[in-house]
Structure 1
Amino acid sequence: MRYAQIYLLMIAVLSITGCETTPKVDNPVLGPPPPRLESALKQQKLEHTQMASRSDDRKNILEGDFEESGNPFESPIITASSNSDASTTSAIDESVEELKDSTVVAMVNGTPLFVSDIIGVYDFQLKQAEQRMPPEEYQKLRIALVKRDLKNHIERQLLIHEMKTTLKKEQLEMLQEHLVKAFEEERIPELQKNMGVSSPQELEDKLNQQGRSLYFEKEMFMRQQSALQFMSVKAKAKNDFSREEVLARYKSNIQDYAYPAKARWQRIRISYAKHGGKEKAVGVLDEVIHKLQAGEDFGTLAEKYSDGPRAEKKGQWGWTGRGSLAETEVEAALFELPIGQTSQVFETDNSFQIVKVIDRKEAGHTPFADVQTKLEQTMVNDARMKATRETLDKLYDKAIIESMFEYETEDEKVTK
């Protein structure tokens, strides 16, 4: 895959430059970020015509409190969450009369992030929403989307800024060349397949119908891949762990691998109501007991006499753990009877019951060998996430960021 080639290229160019090079910025800031000054933001605010750098990361889409869904605008709930803090919503409405595409929502190291940069990817869906929503609700929707996605775009811009100030001009050009090839040779065919077309021109027409274009898809791809590839190299994380390290993690979290005792079993249930009362049900019970004593098959008798929901399956139940049954005496028998032995008759409030244990597994722990591979991958993922967070924290520490909205970092809240 060309993405892998880009990754290797990034490693090569960073090894030449030195990945720990301190980027040169016009106004470097040491220590915590400075206060986000609204006045400075207003001075930087520019009228801009559709600088839409669209994100195709649609994992977090809008449904109530922005829960996961296939499409944010196919959901019946497309307004800002009714559970959101009322004072926050009120403050937003007072400070932002109208959020235009050209509105600057943040300045990241001197680079403006426009509304269109944040929510341009939703243009098609937003146009549909605008037609069926009151203006105030539509504006709240746009604000909610910007607030939700702003942090990701700020962090992407921090990575791009770091990359541009770390790499030399010729190295950036080389990376851009490879990204363009990756877009043409892999991303375009991928888009054609996803949209059911067979040529770039058909793809362009299809994208235009959705308020998109190949140009903007390319811009979005270049920005995303630049940030992702740079992060994959910049955030140095441990990629393999020894058996001893994985085993230590397993032992320290052994409770996560515990499982309770469980049993597979059969039941014959004779309901009082179905047979006209308890006394008449006794007659059916006696007949079943005599046949069991004569050696007839438990499952065959369950199929014929049982009133339970699994009668047609010879009264068989799957693996059942402790605490699953309402009848405590019946459940106790499942974990005390020898396997293959028929129980005594249990008399409940509405039926007689006889059970037989088919198989049983005692409580224990999933063996280390069964979880070693998965656990090691979890450790690798955790290490990558930690390295990513540490890398972003360092970029935040020396960044100059001004924003008209609140956004959360790992250990601080930044406000306008």
Structure 2
Amino acid sequence: MYQPLADRLRPKTLDDVVGQTHLLGENGLLRRVIESGSIPNMIFYGPSGVGKTTVASIIAARTERKLYHLNATTSGIADIKAVIDELDTFLAPNGALVYLDEIQYFNKKQQQSLLEFIETGKMTLIASTTENPYFYIYNAILSRCTVFEFKPVEPRDVERAVHRAIAAAREGRDFPVEDGVAAHIAQACGGDVRKALGAVELLALGAGADGVTLADAKQAAQRSNMRYDRDGDSHYDILSALQKSIRGSDPDAALHYLARLLEAGDMISAARRLLVIAAEDVGLAYPQCMPIVKACVDSAFQLGLPEARIPLAEAVLLMATAPKSNSAAAAVEKAFADVQAGKTGDIPAHIKDAHYGGAAKMGRGLTYRFPHDYPNHWVKQSYLPEELADARYYEYGPNKTEQAARAYWDKVKGQ
């Protein structure tokens, strides 16, 4: 029966696991927990192919518990109950360790149903998810489990596994491997060890007279290092990194994250976020930035990819190198906070609508003074509700543009 190379080479001990040294290193917390022999309920969070299932298997072997591997996309509570029925029998004499993959696909009721099984202590739950557990797993489960985050494996660690896989693939059929193949696969797999081993197996099966060449490796691993899910963590992480890089005035980092979005074909998200950044982070320090970014976005959609990358890159570089101000964003947040807290009050009568018969009888607009009738188009009068007369939402930023506006109005208002 065919068995994938990645399964044949699955580590049997913690020392054989590549990567995750922050968890499984000599003083890693997860390693110490495993070596204690008392395994709590846990959640393994991280991308695919980084060792979550492998570590669960090692835990089951070390604690001499039967491992039940369920997947939330195809399993339900009935499957959990079937596991419970086997407890205290010859099938699971030392208890059960249930590895529930993709727990985020269990709905709230299903997740809550797990509680009655994990609280007895007979069954230990290790749930895994590629999505942020604090977004997708309900508090009742989170409060009873410890979350361990598995990270993409560094290329230098993946390369160790690749060399081991090449050696295994050569058993019974030796073939040459061109220099640089292992390093390229390790770099191109994006931290996914299983993907790297899959590439090795594919290359071994297709090895020709020249063996495995670097050109073959590049073809087998092309674009495989892209981790992107438009509804998942990677989507929002890249958008967050793009905005924070522009906010931090790092044009190189900003271009990198733009490239990752566009390589994944997600021009819409990139364009929307660039428009947000123009208002939120560049803001009033460079007010002309918004129409320029809007023009770049419009041009990008007219051109389409791949040419769209050029005007979008122009927008990224313009904002990354522009002066910054979040005064507008901060001001509107303060205004919203008052409104949401119920601090509104009645609109002053002199600025209420007075364009209808009977408005004067109701006292609307009687004392309103038209600013354009006064020097500098300004006259002192109140505009906020009386309850908020002293509210101050906007504070001029320290940049040249806002300070010029402040100096102008201080002079006009005689401050």
Relative to the length of structure 1, the TM-score reads 0.18
Report which of the two has the higher share of strand: 1
